[in-house]
Structure 1
């Protein structure tokens, strides 16, 4: 949303930018690295790091800072109170019990997708597919389904100036080819991504829509290439996902 300049608290925005600078690539930051990642001065980054540590959201050895367990309060509160995870969880559990595979519901957040609900499974999950995990949208089945729900103008804006990282040898990272992939997903209304985010993994996703037709999330299943090929994934699992999406529509 857009707010009046007088209502914008710049200090809060900078503090959150520093907090968001921590990720799996940079789990520990000093003031210099935090300033570079947050786009603020080193002096400002240092003050924000010290304040966040004082409040208990970061831990520090005096020079380096890292996330403290207290930051989980935000995600825990969201997952406990948000409507979407509560609405989809029974369906995810049923699909997992029916197939033994791992299912997730994912939303788009900028250049990444975030897992907001997932099923338990006895099978080994792909790396990083835990609740709250953030994954690159361009290399995931869910991200592509959600990007395909955008208008072409909105997709152009999303792609403008963005470098698509090549995560594996199979990742589609060239902009023109990626646009063609999104057009294909938009036409089919589902996506299969094979070993583009992680080797040894196929992922199949379909959009979750409201009764008004708005795409609010994506539902996906992740399976190992050792047991499935893309045709088998489509043959055995697509109908299940489509049926689940139809069942969820009145609840979203």
Structure 2
């Protein structure tokens, strides 16, 4: 959405940029680091950090700042009020109970995908992945099955804009880091209508995803199953789990 310049509040934009500079790689920032990440001067970043601390969204030891639990108000309000996570949760729970695997619903947000709903892993040992699979977890688009599914739903122009000048960091030896290879992968995903990613985001972890479309045919999210442990063959995954994902996608379509 674009707005008229007089309606744009620059101070709010800068404050949000500082808040968004905290992530899984940098949980604690000083004014210098926050300034570099948010594209501000050190003095401006310091003022925003102090203001956010005063409002209770950050905590500090006098030098470094980190997020406080108050920031969860935003995600909590979204999860409580958004129709999408509430519509998908029963289906995720049913799939997990049926298979003893872990399922998630994910949306695209810039260069990351965000988990908006997830099941538990019923009857199976719980394993914590390096980057976590909690609600609100943000994962790199290019190295995830859900990310590739969501990229495959884009128009050619939107995909070109997304890829233009973008770095694709290597997370494992299996991560696609070249735009040409990623384009080929996306074209295949578009043809198949699903994606399998094996150890591209984390070693020892495999995932398979399908698009979740509304009644107008627009992809609004992706549904995936995450499988820690040794990789399974793609034929096995397509036989055992892909039909369940496709059935679930059809089941929830009218609610999206």
Category of TM-score, reference length = shorter chain: over 0.9
CA distance in 2, matches of 1:225, 1:218: 22
Shift of 1:44: 0.5
Q: Which residue of 1 aligns with 2:108?
A: 108
1:59 match: secondary structure: strand
Note if 1:63 corresponds to 2:63: yes
**What is the alpha-carbon distance in structure 1 between the residues aligned to residue 4 and residue 185 of structure 2?**
38
Matches within 5 A, 1:1-252: 1-121=1-121, 122-125=124-127, 126-127=129-130, 128-226=132-230, 228-252=232-256
- Contact in 1 for aligned 2:198/2:231 (Cα 8 Å): no
How far does residue 227 in structure 1 lie from its aligned partner after superposition? 6.6
Q: Distance in 1 between matches of 2:99 and 2:250?
A: 19
Which string of whole-angstrom CA distances, capped at 9 and with x for unpartnered residues, describes residues 69-110 of structure 1? 100110011111100000000000000000000000000000
Aligned residues of 1:22 and 1:28 also touching (Cα < 8 A): yes
Deviation at 1:55, TM superposition (A): 0.4
CA–CA separation in structure 2 for the residues paired with 1:250 and 1:25: 38
TM-score for the superposition, normalised by structure 1:
0.98
CA distance in 2, matches of 1:168, 1:235: 27
CA distance in 2, matches of 1:239, 1:23: 35
Q: For residues 234 and 65 of structure 1, do their structure 2 counterparts lie closer, same or farther at Cα, with a shift above 3 Å needed? A: same
SS at match of 2:241: helix
Q: Deviation string for 1:220-248 (max 9, x for gaps)?
A: 00112427333211210000000000010
Is the contact between residue 31 and residue 42 of structure 2 (CA under 8 Å) also seen in structure 1? yes
Runs of 4+ in 1 over 3 A off after TM superposition: none
Which sections of structure 2, spanning at least 5 residues, go unmatched?
none
Cα RMSD of the aligned pairs, angstroms, is 1.0
Segments of 5+ residues of structure 1 without an aligned counterpart are none
TM-score normalised by the chain length of structure 2: 0.96
Q: How many residues align?
A: 252
